[in-house]
Structure 1
Amino acid sequence: MPAIKVGISLPTMADLAPKGFPGIAAGARHVEQAGLDSVSVSDFIMGNGTPALEATVALSAAAAVTTRVELRFGVLVLPLRNIAWTAAQIGTLQRLSGDRVVLGVGSGGAPGTPFWQAVGAAPEGRNARLVRSLELLPQLLAGEETTLPDGPALTLAPAVPAPPVLIAGNSDGAIRRAALHADGWLPSMVPPATVARGVARLREIAEEAGRPAPSTTVWLHAGLGDEESVRSARVAFEKSLVDMYGLTPEEAPLVPIGGSPKEAAERFAAYAEAGADHLDLVVDGGDWQQQVELIAEARALL
């Protein structure tokens, strides 16, 4: 079976304090001590009263108390952000963490919401801004003099290694952007068969362009065991996959990771066989710390 890594998405939006969650710093430390491979944070500030933590600050808290796990943005919405300021933040986090950053990026993040309006980010043209930011970011992180669009030449120091970049999205356009402009593809909430088709397309486009085959990280929900809160969370999640994400009623049960650690390990293996290199899991139901331990137990069975 191909190797696969497993990490945990820390709660940074909506419910910031699920049952058993000890906070960002202690939660990240618990994930590392359990033997898992990464922690991640989302970037989903809407400005409409929905609770949300700013991604770079949250991931900095995780970096401060860990030494091994990858620190993943899942994902940072680049079209929302000034690229010079973003490069300074990413460079600082990369240096302070010992080069553990993995930069998942996307162009979504609820465009048109009050926060987008407040920072002056137009929803139109966001995919083009994403690609342009990805062109500028390596130069800025490398300490090279970089001329910004409609701006001055800028040199940041100290230089740091550019983190691996993953482009999020399930569409063919996202797959193409990942193949041509990034180190990896980050689809979300899709069954293994969809991952396999996407990976084949990803590799085809990369090969045609003479680029290395990008990696694939899949963002999923997981709730192990059989307690009531886990069962109810799974039912609600499967309904949302049909109602909001367009999956069929037959596909939806194939997405969330559940059951015993042995059954979860079999699901991990199915994604690995489909071409996934890394799973980024949102804990759904149950006691958060206990769920992390069960997921780690499943990871150890691979």
Structure 2
Amino acid sequence: MSMIDIGAVLPTAMDELSDPRTPGVSEAARAVEERGLESLWVADLVLGDGTPALEPALTLAAAASVTRTVRLGFGVLSVPPRPAPWLAAQIATLQHLSDHRILLGVGVGGFPDSPLWQALGVPAKGRGRATDAVLDLLPPLVAGEEVRFPSAETSLRLAPPAPMPPLLVGGGERALDRVLRLGAGWFPSQLSPAALGAAVTRLRTRAEARGLPRPPVTVGGHLILGEGPSARLAHDTLVRQLVEEHGVPEEEATRAPMTARTPGELAELYAAYAEAGADRVVAGADNVGWMEQLDFVAEARALLPG
């Protein structure tokens, strides 16, 4: 059985945090680390579909302050609304606060019609070009190199410098060109093990043809845990959203949710993703409380090798 790392998504949406059973960010971060998971992640809901939520960089700063070993991931940041110098300053600061534990998931952003995105005045068109421009500037800015900004007729050197964190490019197979150009990892979501395996084979074939190292793969998704009416409702709701809002073919959408009735079944699912080429799985549950899902995931992880 191939080795695989398992991550957990911190509770940051207001509907989660308003539930008295849900721990605050600091307590949740400590719980993830205490259970031995490899990483914790924060979704960029602020620039998502308008869901009220905590800001991701500040959330990871809080998590960094109460943990020592767990990796801290953006899963994933919408890049276009964030100016490169400001994002670089945040990333370098987080690297120092966390002793270089940041994992930088990035994407072009899937909700340019959301209220905050529109309030920032960022155009919906040209998101790919805007993302590439920022990602090209991030490594030298984070490293403290002098960077010229011709449009502003100025140069900038940020300090203190920090190591650039591992970069994980979110998105479907249209993101693979960006993955290969940047020498980054890939962060797809909502793919069954079979669909992931086929895509990873294509990615690694292209990387080998270019003489590039094997790109690491982190797969995200939604967990449906246990059984009964709540599990069935969560599954059917997610499938409907994938089909109606994201254009996923119904056959693939039906296979996309990560469903498991027991921790043993979840461990088998993790193993299937590992065999498909995933190096890490990051997923949160749609139908159980946050602490319940964390214990479920941790029990499944304990059944895997390593």
TM-score between both structures, scaled by the size of structure 1: 0.93
Choose 203-212 or 25-34, whichever is displaced more. 203-212
2:37 aligned with 1:15, yes or no? no
Taking the aligned partners of 1:36 and 1:108, their CA distance within structure 2 comes to 27
TM-aligned CA deviation for residue 275 of structure 1: 0.3
Taking the aligned partners of 2:191 and 2:222, their CA distance within structure 1 comes to 10
Question: Which residues of 2 match residues 1-302 of structure 1 at below 5 A?
Answer: 1-13=1-13, 15-17=15-17, 18=19, 20-46=21-47, 50-148=51-149, 150-151=151-152, 152-170=154-172, 172-226=173-227, 228-245=229-246, 246-249=248-251, 251-302=253-304
TM-aligned CA deviation for residue 91 of structure 1: 0.3
Taking the aligned partners of 2:84 and 2:141, their CA distance within structure 1 comes to 9
Taking the aligned partners of 2:258 and 2:96, their CA distance within structure 1 comes to 35
Q: Is the 8 A contact 1:75 1:168 kept in 2?
A: yes
1:73 aligned partner, one-letter code: F
TM-aligned CA deviation for residue 198 of structure 1: 1.5
Write out per-residue CA displacement over residues 69-89 of structure 1, whole angstroms, 9 at most, x where no aligned residue.
110000111111011011000
| C-alpha distance 185-34 of structure 1, shift in aligned 2 (>3 A) | same
| C-alpha distance 269-144 of structure 1, shift in aligned 2 (>3 A) | same
Taking the aligned partners of 2:169 and 2:50, their CA distance within structure 1 comes to 28
Taking the aligned partners of 2:227 and 2:49, their CA distance within structure 1 comes to 35
Q: Is the 8 A contact 2:50 2:116 kept in 1?
A: no
TM-score between both structures, scaled by the size of structure 2: 0.92
Taking the aligned partners of 1:264 and 1:57, their CA distance within structure 2 comes to 31
Taking the aligned partners of 2:48 and 2:143, their CA distance within structure 1 comes to 33
2:89 aligned partner, one-letter code: A
Taking the aligned partners of 2:244 and 2:113, their CA distance within structure 1 comes to 22
Q: Is the 8 A contact 2:143 2:161 kept in 1?
A: yes
Taking the aligned partners of 1:27 and 1:236, their CA distance within structure 2 comes to 26
Write out per-residue CA displacement over residues 45-102 of structure 1, whole angstroms, 9 at most, x where no aligned residue.
2598631221101111111111111100001111110110110001000111010000
Choose 48-57 or 76-85, whichever is displaced more. 48-57
Unaligned runs of 5+ in 2: none
1:16 aligned partner, one-letter code: E
2:226 aligned partner, one-letter code: G
Taking the aligned partners of 2:219 and 2:255, their CA distance within structure 1 comes to 16
SS at match of 1:289: helix
SS at match of 1:25: helix
Q: Is the 8 A contact 2:8 2:39 kept in 1?
A: yes
| C-alpha distance 122-157 of structure 1, shift in aligned 2 (>3 A) | same
| C-alpha distance 300-90 of structure 1, shift in aligned 2 (>3 A) | same
Taking the aligned partners of 2:142 and 2:47, their CA distance within structure 1 comes to 28
1:6 aligned partner, one-letter code: I
| C-alpha distance 47-165 of structure 1, shift in aligned 2 (>3 A) | closer
TM-aligned CA deviation for residue 16 of structure 1: 3.2
Choose 250-259 or 271-280, whichever is displaced more. 250-259
Taking the aligned partners of 1:238 and 1:113, their CA distance within structure 2 comes to 22
| C-alpha distance 173-226 of structure 1, shift in aligned 2 (>3 A) | closer
